């Protein structure tokens, strides 16, 4: 009897240990790694001195989306990998500063969002993956999950709560999912950076569709409406829904970024992650500007656009250059940040970054967007 009681006590202790640190709607919690002298951890008031500023990096992903978040405790999250591109891979690898990725989130099952996943899984130790069903690299994810190399969460296999929370030191990531007309799930992530005296947020978005009015054939595609409803149900205070910076959904195309979404989020900055996708349409940019939001295009070259959540401020930089903005969102720098992701061939064909022929085109025939290339006599016959 005593032996049986001892076994029950042992099993109970194991179950308690396994469940410690993870609450409902909370996953991936882990202790802050010792990245500074042990003495700093003796008193809790000293711990904040060990933490670094949280950084959000947006890469030049051509016709895709790729971001990296470096949290204050040294953990990392990749939200979308972008296309399978050598230059992008090298740039991302340099910024990872190690061979581990704590969380990999794929927002949309397409090559523009997940194309680099397979290469990252083979070259880095990825602890956890959250992704929609199917799509780019699906077989690779399944193989790595079955072999036990990653903890793979596929939305069609697991019913996740809205606002699923991963904690990294004093920072958090909350995941929300929506469904389109084809019942494909997509993931939105809110990064919550908790500084010493101010909480700042960033919203990382998938290919959401947000229309102010239903149309005859697209009445069911109300993904932004579903996201707004999820936020309303999850957050009790309006200020908790606001963000400092966000990625414009659907590459900044005029099928998303509804007035209702912008009004709820009240972002200070909106990043258009791929100028090659919106075809030079400035409608969405004007919609943000009309609400006092500063808009930024994607960076060029091997250096990402970096947002640093530093105490009470949000610092923005590109390479060694710090970007500052005036009251009307004018970029205050000389020379200005160049955003050129379209190249024109000798035959006047316009190729966006990410196209197989893009790298072979002359760099001196580069344009900010497809509209500028077409205006220069180019032809938009090089579809991805």
Quote the CA–CA distance of 129 and 239 in Å, as a whole number. 29
User: Dihedral angle at the C-alpha atoms of 50, 52, 54, 59, nearest 10 degrees?
Assistant: -140
Q: What is the pLDDT of residues 156-209, one digit of tens each?
A: 777 788 899 999 988 999 999 887 555 568 899 999 998 766 889 999 998 887
Domains of the chain: 51-211+221-323 (3.60.15.10), 342-375 (no CATH)
- By residue count, the chain amounts to 384
User: What pLDDT is stored for residue 255 in this prediction?
Assistant: 81
Quote the CA–CA distance of 300 and 254 in Å, as a whole number. 23
pLDDT of residue 374 exceeding 60, the answer is: yes
Average pLDDT of 119-138? 84
Which residues, other chains included, contact 114 with Cβ-Cβ below 8 Å and sequence gap of 6+? 80, 81, 106, 108, 131, 135, 136, 137
Which residues, other chains included, contact 326 with Cβ-Cβ below 8 Å and sequence gap of 6+? 332
User: What pLDDT is stored for residue 144 in this prediction?
Assistant: 72
Q: What is the pLDDT of residues 324-333, one digit of tens each?
A: 776 556 544 4
- Show contacts of 70-74: CB within 8 Å, 24+ apart: 70/95, 70/97, 71/168, 71/169, 71/171, 71/193, 72/168, 72/169, 72/170, 72/171, 72/193, 73/32, 73/33, 73/35, 73/168, 73/169, 73/170, 73/171, 74/33, 74/35
- For tokens 């005593």, the residue is 2
User: What pLDDT is stored for residue 267 in this prediction?
Assistant: 93
Which residues, other chains included, contact 257 with Cβ-Cβ below 8 Å and sequence gap of 6+? 210, 248, 249, 250, 270, 284, 287, 288
pLDDT of residue 105 exceeding 90, the answer is: yes
pLDDT of residue 275 exceeding 70, the answer is: no
pLDDT of residue 213 exceeding 60, the answer is: no
Average pLDDT of 33-54? 51
User: What pLDDT is stored for residue 148 in this prediction?
Assistant: 67
């Amino acid at each position: 009897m005593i032996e049986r009681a001892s076994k029950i006590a042992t099993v109970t202790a194991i179950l308690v240990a396994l469940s410690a640190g993870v609450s409902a709607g909370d996953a991936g919690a882990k202790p802050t790694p010792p990245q500074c002298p042990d003495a700093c951890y003796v008193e809790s008031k000293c711990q904040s001195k060990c933490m670094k500023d949280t950084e959000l990096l947006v890469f030049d992903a051509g016709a895709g989306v790729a971001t990296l978040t470096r949290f204050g405790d040294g953990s990392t999250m990749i939200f979308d990998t972008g296309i399978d591109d050598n230059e992008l891979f090298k740039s991302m690898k340099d910024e990872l500063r190690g061979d581990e990725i704590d969380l990999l989130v794929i927002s949309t099952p397409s090559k523009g969002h997940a194309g680099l996943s397979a290469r990252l899984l083979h070259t880095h130790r990825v602890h956890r993956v959250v992704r929609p069903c199917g799509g780019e690299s699906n077989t690779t994810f399944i193989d790595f999950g079955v072999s036990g190399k990653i903890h793979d969460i596929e939305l069609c296999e697991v019913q996740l709560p809205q606002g699923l929370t991963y904690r990294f030191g004093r920072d958090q990531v909350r995941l929300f999912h929506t469904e389109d007309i084809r019942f494909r799930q997509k993931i939105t992530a809110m990064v919550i950076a908790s500084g010493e005296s101010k909480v700042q947020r960033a919203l990382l978005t998938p290919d959401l569709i947000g229309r102010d009015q239903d149309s005859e054939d697209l009445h069911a595609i109300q993904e932004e409406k579903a996201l707004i409803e999820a936020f309303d149900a999850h957050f009790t205070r309006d200020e908790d829904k606001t963000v400092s910076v966000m990625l414009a959904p659907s590459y900044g195309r005029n099928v998303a970024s509804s007035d209702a979404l912008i009004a709820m989020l009240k972002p200070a900055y909106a990043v258009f992650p791929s100028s090659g996708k919106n075809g030079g349409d400035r409608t969405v940019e004007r919609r943000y500007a009309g609400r006092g939001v500063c808009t930024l295009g994607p960076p060029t070259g091997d250096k990402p656009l970096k947002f640093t959540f530093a105490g009470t401020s949000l610092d923005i930089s590109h390479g060694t250059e710090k970007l500052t903005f005036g009251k009307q969102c004018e970029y205050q720098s000389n020379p200005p940040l160049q955003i050129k992701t379209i190249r024109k061939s000798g035959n006047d064909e316009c190729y966006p970054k990410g196209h197989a022929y893009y790298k072979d085109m002359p760099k001196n025939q580069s344009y900010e967007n497809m509209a500028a290339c077409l205006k220069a006599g180019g032809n938009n016959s090089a579809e991805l």
